[in-house]
Amino acid sequence: MWSYESAVKSFFDRRRFLKVLRDYIIFLAKDDELTKIILRQHQTRAVEKVIARVADPARRRGLIWHTQGSGKTLTMITIATRLLRHARGGEGEKPTVLMLVDRNELEAQLFRNIVAYGITTVQVAQSKDDLRRILASDYRGLVVAMIHKLNLEISWHDAEDLRWAARHWATRIGVRLRQVSVRRMTTKWASMSTAGRLTLNSDLLGLPRSAGEYVIVHELVHLLAPNHGKVFQSFMSAYLPDWEMREQLLHERRVRSVTSSL
């Protein structure tokens, strides 16, 4: 039967307590200050589950699902650290650990954290070709790739794919979208009415998905912020951290399109 005494004894079990001291207390530099972080229970449990799955020769896959703000980045770095410190099966051979991150503004902080963890063997894949080169070289250590750098050229399947993306983002942002239409537009990439009717330029079908998503999110955020002020920019950064890069990509595509038609 559960009791407070048994819970305390379990928490302070010698092996568990020493493991917390060794593996789950992290010192990170943040805003020029040294911060001590103790991983929470869901993080330590995820780390232990991943390490156990990697050591299991019969099971090759696994999924850890954590919500926003749960400390996923620290969990991933801790897993990478454990895998790199303790070679699989005790054979002494260092593994290759691939970490994919989807938030561009975390890149600088991510590498500061990696250094603070003491990981010295790390390479950054700047493109799909770069990632292929690193993996083909049998590199052993941590490989970090930002998802947006790998998927810039993925295009849309058809107009329904574009409409689905608009509905998906409307749900994610929390705005009501009454109608989505795709048609040829001569002067705009898209337009949004105050009633929630979104019209997308069919030319977006010929652009990378990342550019189209920027247009969609841009229009949907206007339902929350009518102008392009600080509130609008804050919403854009919250939903698309790399929105300025996507905006630049869209601008370059438009310039290329105009130039080629001259």
Q: pLDDT tens-digit profile of 202-252? A: 999 988 888 898 999 999 999 999 889 999 999 998 888 878 888 887 877
Q: Residues 50-62: what's their mean pLDDT?
A: 88
- Which domains does the chain carry? 11-150 (3.40.50.300), 159-261 (3.30.2010.10)
CA distance 153 to 211: 9
Q: Residues 179-207: what's their mean pLDDT?
A: 90
Threshold 0.85, pTM exceeds = no
Give the pLDDT confidence of 142-183 residue by residue, as tens digits: 888 877 666 555 678 888 889 988 988 898 888 888 899 999
Q: Is the pLDDT of residue 8 over 60?
A: yes
CA distance 3 to 255: 69
In this prediction, residue 152 carries a pLDDT of 53
Q: Is the pLDDT of residue 105 over 50?
A: no
Q: Among 139, 147, 153, which residue's Cα sits nearest to residue 110?
A: 147
In this prediction, residue 103 carries a pLDDT of 57
Do 177 and 158 form a contact (C-beta atoms < 8 A)? no
Burial 8-24 (b: 16+ CB within 10 A, else e): eeeeeeeeeeeeeeebb
Q: Among 220, 250, 254, which residue's Cα sits nearest to residue 235?
A: 220
Rounded percentage of the chain residues whose pLDDT exceeds 90: 19
Do 173 and 224 form a contact (C-beta atoms < 8 A)? yes
> Quick one: pLDDT band at residue 201, thresholds 50, 70, 90?
very high
In this prediction, residue 260 carries a pLDDT of 37
Q: Is the pLDDT of residue 68 over 50?
A: yes
DSSP strand pairing (197-201 vs 33-38): unpaired
Q: Cα-flanking dihedrals φ and ψ of residue 142, to 5°?
A: -95, 135
Burial 176-191 (b: 16+ CB within 10 A, else e): ebeebebeeeeeebbe
DSSP letters, 121-178, are -EEEE-SHHHHHHHHHTT--EEEEEEHHHHSTT-B--SHHHHHHHHHHHHHHHT----
Q: Residues 62-88: what's their mean pLDDT?
A: 82
Q: Is the pLDDT of residue 262 over 50?
A: no
In this prediction, residue 47 carries a pLDDT of 93
Do 142 and 84 form a contact (C-beta atoms < 8 A)? yes
In this prediction, residue 224 carries a pLDDT of 92
Q: Is the pLDDT of residue 81 over 50?
A: yes
Instruction: Kindly report the average pLDDT of the chain as a whole number.
Output: 81
DSSP letters, 68-90, are TTS-HHHHHHHHHHHHHHS-GGG
Q: In this structure, what token pair is assigned to residue 92?
A: 């002494």
Q: Is the pLDDT of residue 88 over 70?
A: no
